[in-house]
Amino acid sequence: MSEIQKIVTRFAPSPTGLLHAGNYRTALFSYLFARHVKGTFLLRIEDTDKARSKKEYEDNIMESLAWLGLPHDGFARQSDRIDIHKKRLEQLIASGHAYISKEIPKEPGDREEVIRFRNPNKKVKFHDMIRGFIEFDTTELGDFIIARSMEEPVFHLVVVVDDIDMGVTHIVRGEDHISNTPRQILIYEALGAPLPEYAHLPTVLAPDKTKLSKRKGALPITAYRDRGYLPEAMVNYLALIGWNPALNDREFFTMAELIEHFDLKDVQKSSAIFNEEKLAWFNRQYMAKLTDEEFLAQAKPFLAAGASLGTSAISSDLLVKLLPLIRERIHAFGEIPKLFSPEGELSFMISSIPSYAKEALMWRQEKDITATKAHLDFVINAITALDASAFTLETIKAAVWPYAEKVGKGNVLWPMRYSLSGKEKSPDPFIIASLIGKDETLHRLTIARNLIS
C-alpha cells in the first residue's frame, strides 16, 4: 500500500450548539482531501463537555452531514473513550511528562488538585499545509492543565490521544486552533507519537467581514435544508469559500468533480466570506437544472407546508401550469408559500381579489379614468366572444393585443392585469386569465369595470 493511501482525516465537532456553514466548510474540505487521495474520513463527536453537550446537537450534526452527502468511514464518540484517555494520562505521569499539581483555589468550586503537563519550555516548529512553517516559543504557556482529575482529561489531551489512537495523519481545522497546536505538539512528543500534518483553514466571515452570527449566515445547515435549498448547491458554494482551483474561474462542480480537483494547496490564507445572496444564486442555478418532474417533487412538500394559505387547494394539473411562474420567481423551494400569501405575486390563484381604489386601475400615463373604463369594456367584450373550450394564453392575447397596440399597451394591459390580480406586481394578464379561466376572468374584469362609475 502506498503512503498516499494511508492518509486519514477527521471532522471532530463538539455538540455544544448548532454548527454553521463555517464548521461544515471544514468538514467538506477534510472530506474532499481524504477522498482526493483515496484516504479515510472519520467523524468524532467531541462531547467531553458534559455540561453543554446535548443529544439534539449531535443529532443535528449527523443530519447535516447526511444531507450534505459527506459519509464517514469511521465513527467515535469521545465520551466513550475515557478509559483510553486515562491510560495515556497515567503514561504521561509515569514518564514524568505530567504531574499532579496542588492548587490554591481562587474562586469557590475551583479544584485543589489538577494534572499539569510539564512544559519543556522550548520552541516548536510545524509545517502548515496552507500557511507554511509556523514557530512558537512554548515557554509562555507554562505548565498547562491537561486534566481536572484522572477521569476528567481536557481538550488538549483528549484530542491528541484520540487522533493518535484513530490513526489521524492530517488535521484539517479552523485557524482558531493554531494557538492550540504548540501544546498538542508537546503532548504528541511526550507520548512518542509521530506528528500529523496540519492545515488550518481561514476563518469564514459574514459579508461585512465580521464574525458569523445568527443574523449573518450562522444558521444551522439544516435551516437551509428546511428553506428548500438543494444540498448540491450548498456543497458547491461551500467548496468555493476560500478554495480557488484556478480552473478559468469555473464555478460549478459536482461532488465527483470536487473530489477530483480538490487540493489543500489551493486554499487561500486570508479569511473567506459566506454570502447568502451568492448561495441563493447558486441554488437557483441548480434548481434550473431540475426537470419539471424533479422540480414538482421538491415543491410539493412546501406547498403542503403553506396549506394555511390555501396552497393545498392547488391541483396537480394547475401546479403544472403554474410551474413556469414559480420557477422564475424563487431561489429556494421554501419561498413557494410566500408566492401564494396575500402579499405574494400568485395570490390571485387561491384568494378573491382584495378591494382597491378605482384610481389603481388607471395606467400612470392615462389622463382620464373614463378611458380606462372603455378599455375594460373592450377587454370584457373581446373575452366574452372567446370559446371557453379554447381559452388559452394565445387566444386571449390575439383578442386583446391589436387593440392594446392601437390605443397604448399600458393603457389597456395595466387595468386588465390589475383587475385580475389586484396587485402592482404579478404575471402578465394573458397568463393570469388563462390560469383562472374564462368565467373567473370575466367576473374580476366586471367588478373592476363597475368600480369606475
What CATH number does the domain containing 230 carry? 1.10.1160.10
pLDDT of residue 180: 96
Domain boundary among 263, 286, 309: 286
Give a yes or no: residue 395 inside a domain: yes
Angle formed by the axes of helices 292-305 and 316-327, nearest 10°: 100
pLDDT of residue 249: 84
Percent of the chain scoring above 90 in pLDDT: 81
Task: Let me know whether 364 and 424 are in one domain.
Answer: yes
Q: 72-76, 354-358, 385-389: which has the minimum mean pLDDT?
A: 354-358
Give a yes or no: residue 75 inside a domain: no
Q: Report the pLDDT averaged over residues 120-132.
A: 96
Res 109 pLDDT > 90: no
pLDDT confidence band for 343 (50 / 70 / 90) = confident
Q: 0.75 exceeded by the pTM?
A: yes
Give a yes or no: residue 62 inside a domain: no
Give a yes or no: residue 439 inside a domain: yes
Res 5 pLDDT > 70: no
pLDDT of residue 309: 62
As a whole number, the mean pLDDT across the chain is: 93
Res 231 pLDDT > 90: yes
Task: Let me know whether 248 and 330 are in one domain.
Answer: no
Buried b (16+ CB within 10 A) or exposed e, 195-204: ebbbbbbbbb
Domain boundary among 349, 368, 391: 349
Which of 193, 195, 183, 182 has its CA nearest to residue 98? 183
Q: Report the pLDDT averaged over residues 90-111.
A: 94
Task: Let me know whether 412 and 373 are in one domain.
Answer: yes
Give the residue with greater pLDDT, 215 vs 448.
448
Q: Report the pLDDT averaged over residues 112-118.
A: 96
Q: What's the number of domains the chain is made of?
A: 3
Give the C-alpha distances (Å, rounded to integers) separating 279 from 24, 31, 174, 196, 323: 14, 21, 21, 34, 22
Task: Let me know whether 362 and 417 are in one domain.
Answer: yes
Give a yes or no: residue 363 inside a domain: yes
Give the C-alpha distances (Å, rounded to integers) separating 199 from 40, 133, 176: 16, 11, 12
- Whose cell is 509556523? That residue is 134
Q: Report the pLDDT averaged over residues 253-271.
A: 96
pLDDT of residue 318: 79
Task: Let me know whether 447 and 386 are in one domain.
Answer: yes
Tell me the pLDDT tens digit for each residue of 370-396. 999 999 999 999 999 999 999 999 999
Tell me the pLDDT tens digit for each residue of 152-209. 999 999 999 999 999 999 999 999 999 999 999 999 999 999 999 999 999 999 888 8
pLDDT of residue 312: 64
Res 329 pLDDT > 60: yes
Task: Let me know whether 323 and 300 are in one domain.
Answer: yes
Res 305 pLDDT > 80: no
Q: How far apart are CA 344 and CA 391, in angstroms?
A: 25
pLDDT of residue 327: 95
pLDDT of residue 1: 39
pLDDT confidence band for 350 (50 / 70 / 90) = confident
Task: Let me know whether 259 and 331 are in one domain.
Answer: no
Domain boundary among 349, 378, 396: 349
Res 347 pLDDT > 80: yes
Task: Let me know whether 433 and 382 are in one domain.
Answer: yes
Task: Let me know whether 372 and 430 are in one domain.
Answer: yes
Q: Report the pLDDT averaged over residues 425-444.
A: 94
Give a yes or no: residue 195 inside a domain: no
Task: Let me know whether 367 and 427 are in one domain.
Answer: yes
Res 306 pLDDT > 80: no
pLDDT of residue 310: 63
Task: Let me know whether 407 and 329 are in one domain.
Answer: no
Give a yes or no: residue 307 inside a domain: yes
Res 303 pLDDT > 90: no
Q: 265-274, 347-356, 395-404: which has the minimum mean pLDDT?
A: 347-356
Tell me the pLDDT tens digit for each residue of 86-99. 999 999 999 999 99
Q: Which domain holds residue 235?
A: 221-286
Give a yes or no: residue 26 inside a domain: no
Quickly list H helices, 227-291.
231-239, 255-261, 276-288
pLDDT of residue 2: 44
For residues 62 and 275, the answer to whether their CB atoms sit within 8 Å is no
For residues 309 and 340, the answer to whether their CB atoms sit within 8 Å is yes
Q: Report the pLDDT averaged over residues 98-118.
A: 93
∠ Cα 349 350 356 (to 5°): 80
Task: Let me know whether 296 and 279 are in one domain.
Answer: no
pLDDT confidence band for 49 (50 / 70 / 90) = confident
pLDDT confidence band for 368 (50 / 70 / 90) = confident
State whether residue 255 is helix, strand or coil: helix
